[in-house]
C-alpha cells in the first residue's frame, strides 16, 4: 500500500469490475443455466434475465470507464 499513492483508485477499479460481474451479471446466467430444463421455460423469464444481464453490462462498462478515467486524470 505504501508504493501505491492512491490505492483508492485501484480499489474502485477492482470493485467496479467485480461487483457488477458477481452481483448483477452472473446470477441471471446461472438462473438460466440451472433452470433451463425445468418445465416452466417461459419467454418472460428469459426476457427478464436478458434485461438484467444487459443492465449489468452497462453498469460494468460505465463503472470501469469512470474508474479508468479517474486513474488517468490522477496520472496527468
Q: Is the dihedral of CA 65, 10, 12, 18 positive or negative?
A: positive
The answer for residues whose C-beta is within 8 angstroms of residue 57's C-beta and 6 or more apart is: 25
**pLDDT digit string, tens, across residues 52-66:** 999 999 999 999 999
Q: How far apart are CA 10 and CA 4, in angstroms?
A: 9
Nearest to 32 by CA among 60, 52, 55, 17: 52
Task: Report CA Rg, the chain.
Answer: 17
pTM: 0.81
pLDDT of 16-67, one tens digit each? 999 989 999 999 999 988 887 776 667 888 899 999 999 999 999 999 999 9
> Which sign does the torsion angle of CA 60, 63, 69, 74 carry?
negative
Amino acid at each position: 500500500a505504501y508504493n501505491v499513492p492512491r490505492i483508492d483508485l485501484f480499489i474502485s477499479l477492482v470493485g467496479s469490475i467485480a461487483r457488477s460481474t458477481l452481483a448483477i451479471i452472473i446470477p441471471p446466467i446461472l438462473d438460466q443455466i440451472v433452470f433451463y430444463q425445468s418445465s416452466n421455460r417461459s419467454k418472460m423469464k428469459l426476457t427478464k434475465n436478458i434485461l438484467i444481464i444487459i443492465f449489468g453490462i452497462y453498469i460494468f462498462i460505465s463503472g470501469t470507464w469512470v474508474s479508468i478515467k479517474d486513474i488517468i486524470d490522477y496520472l496527468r
